[in-house]
Amino acid sequence: MTVALQVSDTHFGTERPVAMAALRQLCAELRPDLLLVTGDITQRARAHEFDSARAFFDGLQVPARLIVPGNHDIPLFDLFTRAVRPYRGFERVFGAALEGEFERDDLLVIALNTTRRWRHSNGEVSAAQVERVAARLARASPAQLKLVAVHQPVAAITHEDVANLLRGRHHAVRRWAAAGADAVVGGHIHLPYVLPLRERWPELARNLWCVQAGTAVSHRLRGGISNSVNVIRTRPAAVQRWDLDEAAGEFRCVATTPLHPAPLG
């Protein structure tokens, strides 16, 4: 069984020591195979924020990791850098790859960069990205749990978050479901939830789950929910939501959702 820890919206520069300590403890106990970071690593894309994030992620000592940027990882006020080299800070500490892939016999994760230098908040998945992911999914093994990781969500549970949805999601969801994806995992809005996307797109060839993570260590909490991360397991395929219990100073599992395909019809 492969275990992936999804951490999102850390917003270093606004981090909470109690959440960081609890996440270190959770990692030591679970010993995940993959650290999946779905964007907004920093608050303002400043060098010291990226340095803090790198040190924290290194300290978790997870054997493999996939890290994609979020809109907060592009400079907001430095317009020149935003225009000519928007990912300079990210690349300095995490390398030039803004997208990536993790594969094991029972898991395939394809991570996409859905930020755009000309957008402050909204993300976008291009037609080329959609087709590239679909082609990779089509080559995957039936034994693999297949995840596509983005920053912005493909489905919302509140009216106010509709404006935050990923541009190009309609085409992406249909193509990726047809190609065999099991879930699209993301962050951005600081609300953890899991949705079966055939409720939103009844025409999908198979069910595709929307898996959203909350904010892992930032004080930018929302909806009365504490810091939150997701643990994704392959056998049986399921996503567990772990929320910070501040009184105990530890993350605790509060929900488990099986990631099995829903029956058609």
| pTM of the model as a whole | 0.95
129 belongs to a structural domain:
yes
Residue 265 lies inside a defined structural domain of this protein: no
Report the C-alpha gap between 248 and 250 in whole angstroms: 5
d(CA 90, CA 162): 28
Q: Classify residue 217: in a domain, yes or no.
A: yes
Flag whether 104 is in a domain: yes
CA distances (Å), 152 to each of 4, 124, 165, 201, 233, in order?
A: 19, 8, 6, 18, 22
Per-residue pLDDT tens digits of the chain, which is 265 residues long: 999 999 999 999 999 999 999 999 999 999 999 999 999 999 999 999 999 999 999 999 999 999 999 999 998 776 666 667 789 999 999 999 999 999 999 999 999 999 987 766 789 999 999 999 999 999 999 999 999 999 999 999 999 999 999 999 999 999 999 999 999 999 999 999 999 999 999 999 999 999 999 999 999 999 999 999 999 999 999 999 999 999 999 999 999 999 975 443 3
**pLDDT for position 84:** 72
Q: Confirm whether 65 is domain-assigned.
A: yes
Determine the straight-line distance between the first and last CA of the chain, rounded to whole angstroms: 31
Residue 20, token pair as written in the block: 């960081």
| Residue 171: inside a domain | yes
CA distances from 155 to 17, 100, 152, 158, 168 (A): 31, 23, 9, 9, 12
- Alpha-carbon torsion, ordered 35, 255, 221, 12, to 10 deg: -10
**Number of domains the chain is built from:** 1
Provide the token pair at 96: 């030039």
Question: Is 264 within a domain?
Answer: no
Cα 239 to Cα 108: distance, rounded to the nearest angstrom: 15
Residue 117's pLDDT is 78
Residue 130 falls inside a structural domain: yes
Q: How confident is the model at residue 261, as a pLDDT? A: 55
Domain housing 13 = 3-258
φ and ψ of 152, to 5 deg: -80, 150
CATH number (domain holding residue 149): 3.60.21.10
